[in-house]
A and B are shown apart, each in its own frame.
Chain A
Amino acid sequence: MQDSLRELYQEVILDHGRHPRNFRAVPQAPNQAKGNNPMCGDRIQVYLTLDADGHIADAAFDGRGCAISQASASLMTEILPGKTREEALALFRALHELCTKEHYDVAAHADADPEAMERLAVLSGVREFPMRVKCATLAWHTMKAALAGEGKATTE
C-alpha cells in the first residue's frame, strides 16, 4: 500500500467515515443547506443552530458520500459548536488552503482556531489526490451556504 494512500485514509478518517458523529437530521434548524457534488453524486445536508449571542450551539449533518466527505463533515460538526460565524468562516478558508496548497501557511490563517486546524490536518492527505479535494470541502461549502442562508451549495 502506498504512503500517499495511507496518508489519505488515516485511521481517524476511516473511523469518522464508518461512524460519523452528529449524523442526524435537524428539520427545525434555522440555518441549513444542501450540498451536492455533481461529479460523484455525493449529497449532504448541514444543520446549524446559533444561540442568541451568535455562537453555533449545534451542528449536525446527514446524507451520503465517500469516506473523505463523511469524515470531513463529521469532524466539522464536532469542531463548530462554540464558534462564531466569523470563526467558522475563518476555518472554512483555512481548510480550503490546507486541502489545496502544498504548503499550508499557518501565519496566513492566524484567525483560524489552531486547535481545530490541528484536528483537521488529517484531511490534508487529499492534496495528493486533486480529484478528491471536493470530497473534503463539500461539507464546509455547505456550512458556509447554511450560515449565509443560501440553502444550497455545490462544489462546482
Chain B
Amino acid sequence: MSTSTARAGHNVGAEYDVEAVQRDFPILSRRVYDRPLVYLDNGASAQKPRVVIDGMRDMLEGEYANVHRGVHYLSQRATDRYEAVRGKVARFLNAESEEEIVFARGATEAINLVAASWGRRFLEAGDEVVLSVMEHHANIVPWQLLRAEKGIVLKVAPIDAEGNFLLDRFVDLLGPRTRLVSLAHVSNVLGSVLPVAEIVRVAHARGIPVLLDGCQGATHMPVDVRALGCDFYVFSGHKLYGPTGIGVLYGRAERLAAMPPYQGGGDMIASVSFEETTFKQPPHRFEAGTPAIVETVGLGAAIDYVQGIGLAAIERHERRLLAYAHERLAGIPGIQLVGQAREKSAICSFVVEGVHAHDVGTILDRAGVAVRVGHHCAEPLHSHLGLAATVRASFALYNCRADVDALANGLIAVKEMFG
C-alpha cells in the first residue's frame, strides 16, 4: 500500500479508521493459542506495517549494494535511498538540516554515542549530569560508565506520587557544575510526558545542554526539535513500526561539530595514513563501518507510513484508548494504576492486588493478550515505587477498544483464578 492511500484511507476527516490501520499490519491477523492476537507490548517493540516489510524486501531484491563506496549503479541507488532517509528523519523531527541526523543501532547506542564522544570530551571529575528517577536503564548506565571513568556526579530529579515530573525540584538540582540534563521525553513505565519545553528553557537559561530520550516520545506524538530547542534527541526505529538495528541521534549542528569520533573505521574518515587520519564532518564522522542499510530504508518507509496518518491523529487516537483503559481497569477491584500523571501518553502500567505481575502476564498471554511484566528496564523507578514488578499495557496506532476489552476480561480471569 502506498503512502497516499494510507493518507486517504485512514484518517478521513476527524474519523480515525483503526480497522484500515490494522489491515496494514500482517501480523495482526494471526492467532496465538487459537485466539486473536491482542498486542499491547508496543512500548517494548511495535509491529511492522506491510510497507516497511515490502520496502525492505524490495531493496534486497532489487537495489542492494554497499553505500558511499561504489561507482557502480547499485551502490549509487543504495546510497541515494539510504541518504534520502536522513532527510526524511530531519523533516520528521523538524531538524534544521539532515547533517544533524546521525544513524545509530538504536536509541541505546545513540545515548552511548553522546556519553562516549561529547561526555568524554566535555565532562570532568565533579561535573554533574541530571537524570530523572523515571529513566530507562539506557539513559542511566552509559552515564554510570562515564562516572566510573571520569568521576562525574549523577543527580536524580524526583517525581510526585502520580508520576508528575517536579519541575521546581528539578530546577533546584541545576547548579554551577551541571553540564548536561538527560531525560526521558515520556516515561516508558508511567507514561508521564515530561514538560520538555520548560525543561529546555530553564536548562538553557543556565547554559546547560539537554538530551531527550524520545523512545516513547517521537513514536507517539509530533516532535519538533527546533521548537523544543533540545541539543540531542534520540529514538529507536523499531518502536516507530520500523525494523530493529536502526535508531536516530539528532544533535544540533554546533554540538555535533564539537564532538570527536567515538568509533573508528571505514566510511567515517576523510583520509587515512599511518601517520595521520582526518575525519569526515558530522554526521558521517559518527558512522563507522557499513551501516544498517536495509534497516534504514525500512525506517524511512515507517516514517512515511506514520506521517501518512499523522502523528497528531495517532496521538489523539492513543490518548482516547488510554482514557478507555483507565475507565475499564478502574471498574475491576484490586487493580492499582501505576502512573497517573496529568500529561500522560498511551502507556498503562498497573499491579493486581495479591497477584505477582509474572502470573498476570502468563494468564493474559494465554488469552492472546501480550503485555510486558517486570521492571521494564527501569529498575530504579520500581525501587522508588516500592514495587518488584508491574504489568504494562502500551498502546500503538493499531490498537482499538476491543483490545482494551480483551485486557480487562483477561484481568477478570486473573482475579477469578487467584480469588
Binding site for B on A (CB under 8 A): 1-2, 4-5, 8-9, 14, 18, 39-43, 64-68, 129, 131-132, 135
Cα distance, A56 to B245, chains bound together (Å)? 51
Cα distance, A135 to B373, chains bound together (Å)? 14
> Chain A interface secondary structure, helix, strand, loop or mixed?
mixed
Question: Which among B355, B357, B358, B382 is the interface contact of A132 at CB below 8 angstroms?
Answer: B358
Cα distance, A4 to B373, chains bound together (Å)? 20
Given contacts A14-B418, A41-B388, are A2 and B366 in contact (CB under 8 A)? yes
Interchain residue pairs A-B with the least CB separation, the first 9: A66-B356, A66-B358, A67-B359, A66-B359, A40-B358, A64-B388, A41-B388, A40-B374, A2-B366
Q: What 1/0 mask marks residues of chain B from 101 to 142 whose CB sits below 8 Å from any chain A CB?
A: 000000000000000000000000000000000000000000
Q: Which residue of B lies closest to A5 (CB)?
A: B366
Q: Which residue of A lies closest to B373 (CB)?
A: A40
| Least distance between B357 CB and chain A CB atoms (Å) | 8
Could you list 16 A-B pairs, sorted by A, with CB under 8 Å? A1-B416, A2-B33, A2-B366, A5-B362, A8-B362, A9-B363, A9-B418, A39-B374, A40-B389, A41-B388, A43-B388, A64-B356, A65-B388, A66-B356, A67-B356, A135-B358
Q: Is the CB of B362 within 8 A of A41?
A: no
Q: What 1/0 mask marks residues of chain B from 368 to 385 whose CB sits below 8 Å from any chain A CB?
A: 000001110001001000
Q: Which chain A residues lie closer than 8 Å to B413 at the CB level? A: 1
The yes or no answer to B205 lying at the interface (CB within 8 A) is no
| Least distance between A31 CB and chain B CB atoms (Å) | 25
Q: Which chain B residues lie closer than 8 Å to A135 at the CB level? A: 358
Q: Which chain B residues lie closer than 8 Å to A68 at the CB level? A: 358-359
Q: Which residue of A lies closest to B33 (CB)?
A: A2
Q: Is the CB of A4 within 8 A of B366?
A: yes
Cα distance, A5 to B416, chains bound together (Å)? 13
Q: Which chain A residues lie closer than 8 Å to B33 at the CB level? A: 2
Question: Which among B355, B363, B388, B418 is the interface contact of A42 at CB below 8 angstroms?
Answer: B388
Q: Which chain A residues lie closer than 8 Å to B416 at the CB level? A: 1
Q: Which residue of B lies closest to A131 (CB)?
A: B362
**Most B CB within 10 A of own CB, among A40, A41, A131:** A41
Q: Which chain A residues lie closer than 8 Å to B366 at the CB level? A: 2, 4-5
Q: Is the CB of B417 within 8 A of A5?
A: yes
Q: Which chain A residues lie closer than 8 Å to B354 at the CB level? A: 18
Q: Is the CB of A67 within 8 A of B389?
A: no
Cα distance, A1 to B355, chains bound together (Å)? 17
Cα distance, A2 to B33, chains bound together (Å)? 10
Q: Which residue of B lies closest to A9 (CB)?
A: B417
Q: Which chain A residues lie closer than 8 Å to B356 at the CB level? A: 64-67
Q: Which chain B residues lie closer than 8 Å to A39 at the CB level? A: 374
Cα distance, A65 to B363, chains bound together (Å)? 16
Q: Which residue of A lies closest to B418 (CB)?
A: A14
Q: Is the CB of A41 within 8 A of B417?
A: no
Given contacts A40-B374, A132-B362, 6 further A-B contacts (CB under 8 A): A1-B416, A5-B362, A8-B362, A40-B358, A41-B389, A68-B359
| Least distance between A114 CB and chain B CB atoms (Å) | 29
| Least distance between B409 CB and chain A CB atoms (Å) | 12
Cα distance, A8 to B365, chains bound together (Å)? 13
Cα distance, A65 to B373, chains bound together (Å)? 12
Q: Which chain A residues lie closer than 8 Å to B362 at the CB level? A: 5, 8, 129, 131-132
Cα distance, A132 to B418, chains bound together (Å)? 17
Q: Is the CB of A41 within 8 A of B374?
A: yes
Q: Which residue of B lies closest to A13 (CB)?
A: B359
Q: Is the CB of B382 within 8 A of A41?
A: yes
| Least distance between B81 CB and chain A CB atoms (Å) | 39
Q: What 1/0 mask marks residues of chain B from 339 to 360 whose CB sits below 8 Å from any chain A CB?
A: 0000000000000001111110
| Least distance between B353 CB and chain A CB atoms (Å) | 12
Q: What 1/0 mask marks residues of chain B from 61 to 73 whose CB sits below 8 Å from any chain A CB?
A: 0000000000000
Q: Which residue of B lies closest to A128 (CB)?
A: B366
Q: Is the CB of B355 within 8 A of A5?
A: no
| Least distance between B138 CB and chain A CB atoms (Å) | 16
Q: Which residue of B lies closest to A132 (CB)?
A: B362
